[in-house]
Amino acid sequence: MPQFRLRYVVPDLPSTDEVIPYLRRIDETNWYSNFGPMEQLFREELAKLFFPGLNARHIATACSGALAIETALIAHGLAQGARVLMPSYTFVATASAVVRAGYVPIFADIDLRTLALDPAGAGHLARILGCSAVVPVGVAGMSLPTAAWEDFAAETGIAVIIDAAAGLGNQTISPLLTLAFSLHATKPFGIGEGGLVVSAREEIVTRARVATNFGLDQGRGLFCGTNAKMSEYAAAVGLAQLKRSDAIMARRKPILKAYRDALAARVPEVQLLTPAESNPANLIVMLPQPRVRELVADLAAAGIESRRLYVPPVHRHPAYLGYQCAEPMVNGERMSTHSLSLPCHGAMTPADVDQIVSLIANVLD
Ligand SMILES: *Cc1c(COP(=O)(O)O)cnc(C)c1O
Closest CA relative to residue 38, chosen from 52, 57, 24, 51? 24
Structural domain spans, the chain: 16-242, 245-364
**pLDDT tens digits, one per residue of 34-56:** 999 999 999 999 999 999 999 99
> Is pLDDT of 95 > 90?
yes
Which of 309, 324, 326 minimizes the C-alpha distance to 109? 326
Give the integer Cα–Cα distance in Å for 110 and 327: 10
**221 pLDDT above the threshold of 80:** yes
When comparing pLDDT for 275 and 225, which is higher?
Answer: 225
Ligand 1 probe mutation, 98, 137, 184, most atoms within 8 A of CB: 184
**Mean pLDDT, residues 245-266:** 95
Return the best residue to mutate from 13, 91, 137, 284 for the ligand 1 pocket (most ligand atoms within 8 A of CB): 91
Q: Given 3.30.1490.190, 3.30.830.10, 3.90.1150.10, 1.10.1530.10, which CATH number is that of 245-364? A: 3.90.1150.10
Residue 271 predicted with pLDDT over 70: yes
Pocket of ligand 1 (CB under 6 A): 64-66, 90-91, 93-94, 137, 163, 165-166, 182, 184, 195
The percentage of residues in the chain with a pLDDT greater than 90, rounded to a whole number, is 98
d(CA 164, CA 136): 8
The SS3 of residue 259 is helix
Torsions phi, psi for 125 (to 5 deg): -60, -45
Measured in angstroms, how far is the CA atom of residue 65 from the centroid of ligand 1? 5
Ligand 1: distance of its center to the CA of 249 in Å? 20
| 3-class state of residue 288 by DSSP | coil
Which stretches within the chain are classed as H helix? 16-29, 37-50, 65-75, 92-100, 119-128, 146-156, 202-212, 232-242, 245-266, 292-301, 330-338, 350-363
Q: Tell me the β-bridge partners of 197.
A: 60, 180
Q: Is 16-242's fold the same as 245-364's?
A: no
Which protein residue has the closest C-alpha to ligand 1 atom 15?
A: 165
- Residue range 117-166, pLDDT digits in tens: 999 999 999 999 999 999 999 999 999 999 999 999 999 999 999 999 99
Task: Report residue 365's pLDDT band, with 50, 70 and 90 as the boundaries.
Answer: confident
pLDDT band at 276 (very low <50, low <70, confident <90, very high): confident
Pocket test for ligand 1, best of 89, 137, 163, 274 (most atoms within 8 A of CB): 163
For 156-202, write each residue's pLDDT tens digit: 999 999 999 999 999 999 999 999 999 999 999 999 999 999 999 99
For 177, residues 6+ apart whose C-beta sits below 8 A from its C-beta are: 146, 149, 150, 153, 160, 161, 162, 199
Longest dimension (CA), the chain: 66
Measured distance CA(213)–CA(208) in Å, rounded: 9
* CA separation for the pair 291, 297 (Å, rounded): 10
| Closest atom of ligand 1 to CA, residue 67 | 9
The answer to whether the beta carbons of residues 105 and 84 sit under 8 Å apart is yes
How much is the pLDDT for 2? Answer: 66
Our measurement of the distance from residue 227's CA atom to the centroid of its chain's CA atoms, rounded to an integer in Å, reads 21
The hierarchical CATH code for the domain 16-242 is 3.40.640.10
What is the pLDDT at residue 220? Answer: 97
Instruction: Give the Cα separation of 201 and 186 in Å (integer).
Output: 29
For ligand 1, the distance from its centroid to the CA atom of residue 206, given in whole angstroms, is: 22
Task: Report which protein residue has its CA nearest ligand 1's atom 7.
Answer: 65
The predicted pLDDT at position 275 comes to 85
Question: Distance, CA 364 to ligand 1 centroid (Å)?
Answer: 32
In total, the chain counts a number of residues equal to: 365
Closest residue CA from atom 14 of ligand 1: 165
Say if CB 77 and CB 71 are below 8 A apart: no
Ligand 1 center from residue 183 Cα (angstroms): 9
Of ligand 1's listed atoms, the one at least distance from the Cα of 195 is 7
Collapsing DSSP to helix, strand or coil, 202 comes out as helix
Residue 1 pLDDT > 80 = no
Q: What is the CA(219)–ligand 1 centre distance, in A?
A: 31
Check residue 115 and give its pLDDT: 97
Q: Which residues contact 294 (CB under 8 A, 6 or more apart)?
A: 363
Asked if the model's pLDDT at residue 358 lies above 80, the reply is: yes
Distance CA 337, CA 204 (A): 40
Dist CA 346 CA 335 (whole Å)? 26
Mean pLDDT along residues 219-232: 97
Residue 214 pLDDT: 98
